[in-house]
Chain A
């Protein structure tokens, strides 16, 4: 077997990554404490990308690119043809609410790839994001996890609607593949195996 030198797992195999992920520019912003009403994302204490970051993001004029959701929305008109060519995907981070943004995008399935960035492997919000994308927003194309993606979370990612995993740079993707098969017959219905054990098998 020839092995491809790549950190990307798609489904159950290692493949080359054709996509270029466009990160947001790092800009130092003064942190303002906001008093008053409880806002959901404020509860979790994390910041959204600032307008300045979105405005200053630059990306190549051709090829398959993965843009932050906000950047995509800003340039949606300009990117019309590239979207049609299936050359544009988008990403967001686990703490970002995307419902309002999705309304501006139209059909979510015109994008061949959505990626969710996980900063810390222990951030389990990524699983709920996957689930929401699949069942609430009806996304049926490739769903990728990237960032702090490690072997011992893959089984759960797979069951939460993900089918693409970009393994953290310093880890072995071949080793990580094993994590997809930790359990052969889980109890509950999830997104890979829809039915719970008692419906799948005569118990």
Chain B
């Protein structure tokens, strides 16, 4: 994992000072609300419904156990004893006091953490595959590339005040778990036919009000040029992205308006002036950063025969859903579920965080990751220790065997916390989880994703959920629009709206009806999403709206 040197530490320390001073000037009325706004946002501070919300960066989702303990302590000391892991692989605190925020940042800096650029119209946290470095289908470890981009984008002077937020995602695996096609820039690393590392560059993807799957701007970019090429893209966007209408300000709108060919022409024109310039990376720098992400000290560990646990139904279920194959024989990656029933998706208590830190120390080289599905991952666990780990994690309600199942709901904070919301989202997740509490049934339904956002901003990624739920406002009351057939990964697609929206009471039943149609219509072994793609949304529609044929 990346370790700060003096340069990193100094920047973060100076940031704490800068921010403290800005807050001081704001409280002193030397800065207006409007002037302070972008400054606080670029430090992750929102003014929310009840209190400010502070979003702390977890670069590409990697955390050490030490950092997690600090987050737990902050939750205890400055918040109400819990934090919310977001779909951007960040953590949010919902109840800090404004005047305490500099103190929180100071404490974070002690463990090489910060809240830089976690919000505002700038380049946000770089995200990647939660199984990076451990998954067998990996071609290139995306984490060191993400770290190089993180450094380059931190306080980038030219892109400090973009038309709108800007999100970059990196993947280096055959199977894309980083949603690269739904990002402002998506970078897909691979090797070309002669074994050289190259990047397929996607641009103009995004969810939000106008969901768009990105376009390929370059099929094969040489890795040395990654920063200058991103710079050229961002310059074109910075200059020509709309600033008059915040709903049309994302890069996807610009790419659509110009067309990808014209957009590419402008980018190439800018790039010509900076290509091979000082920000070009070389082998030495690549290796320096990569050296932080070398494989941990794996033991020569044999695959163990897990058959002896066959009678332990719960453990076997957990094994099949919550662990992921590993590139090293005898190891697996474990997902600790933050989606237990009656738990707001992604929320973890300080107690749970301490427990996970403990487990990471004991079983996974003191490291963990946050997934964009809002769960916590121990990436390198020996198979022989899985049972032990499971038993301990169970004590903290972290072993719900529902990863990838219906109740592994992705859900934004919604109307309970977020001031932009049209509707609440957490209670919807909860009512669905309550209705579907039979684990056997959930396993029978199999792989399915259900994503909920409280408004168009789509923090819950509802467009790419197999079932998507979006909070909408109708005459001042809360309603929910349902989409079907969204998908992420290499076959990303945007879900289709099935019809008029529903009240919150209707929602669990609607989901139930959708599942019923699938169970009746599926072919042997056919997944929900494949079934939807095969039969279309009509059969679901007629069942849900009661007009059965």
Contact = CB atoms under 8 A, between A and B. Distances in A.
A binds B: yes
B5 A203 contact: yes
Nearest to A190: B157
Interface in A101-146: 121-125, 127-129, 131-132, 135-136
A155 interface: yes
A160 B152 CA distance: 15
Contacts of B243: 44-45, 123, 125
B35 interface: yes
Interface in A171-187: 182-187
Interface in B196-233: 227
B481 interface: no
Contacts of B161: 122-124, 127, 153, 156
A152 B22 contact: yes
B279 A155 contact: no
Instruction: Please tell me the size bucket of the interface on B.
Output: 35 or more
A131 B24 CA distance: 32
Interface residues of A, number: 44
A197 interface: yes
A35 interface: no
Contacts of B258: 38
B278 interface: yes
B39 A199 contact: no
A37 to B, nearest CB: 11
Contact of B157 (A43, A160, A184, A195): A160
B279 A125 contact: no
Interface in B243-269: 243-245, 254, 257-258
Interface of A: 38, 40, 43-46, 121-125, 127-129, 131-132, 135-136, 150, 152-153, 155-160, 182-190, 194-199, 201, 203
Given A129-B239, A160-B158, 16 more contacts: A40-B240, A44-B240, A44-B241, A45-B243, A124-B161, A128-B239, A152-B35, A156-B160, A182-B18, A183-B11, A183-B18, A185-B10, A186-B155, A187-B7, A190-B157, A199-B278
Interface of B: 5, 7, 10-11, 14-15, 18, 22, 31, 35, 38-39, 121, 151-152, 154-163, 227, 235, 238-245, 254, 257-258, 270, 273-274, 277-279, 285, 288
Contacts of B235: 128, 131-132
A163 to B, nearest CB: 14
Nearest to B5: A203
Contacts of A131: 158, 235
B7, B159, B270, B277 interface centre (most CB from chain A within 10 Å): B7
Contacts of A38: 257-258
11 contacts: A38-B257, A46-B244, A124-B121, A153-B161, A156-B155, A182-B14, A182-B18, A183-B15, A185-B7, A188-B154, A199-B278
A196 B288 contact: no
A152 B31 CA distance: 10
B154, B157, B288 interface centre (most CB from chain A within 10 Å): B157
Contacts of A182: 14, 18
Contacts of A187: 7, 11, 151-152, 154-155
A184 B15 CA distance: 11
Nearest to A199: B278
B132 to A, nearest CB: 22
Contact of A188 (B22, B162, B279): B279
Nearest to A193: B278
B329 to A, nearest CB: 35
B27 to A, nearest CB: 15
A20 to B, nearest CB: 28
B167 to A, nearest CB: 17
Contacts of B239: 125, 128-129
A72 B184 CA distance: 39
A121 B155 CA distance: 17
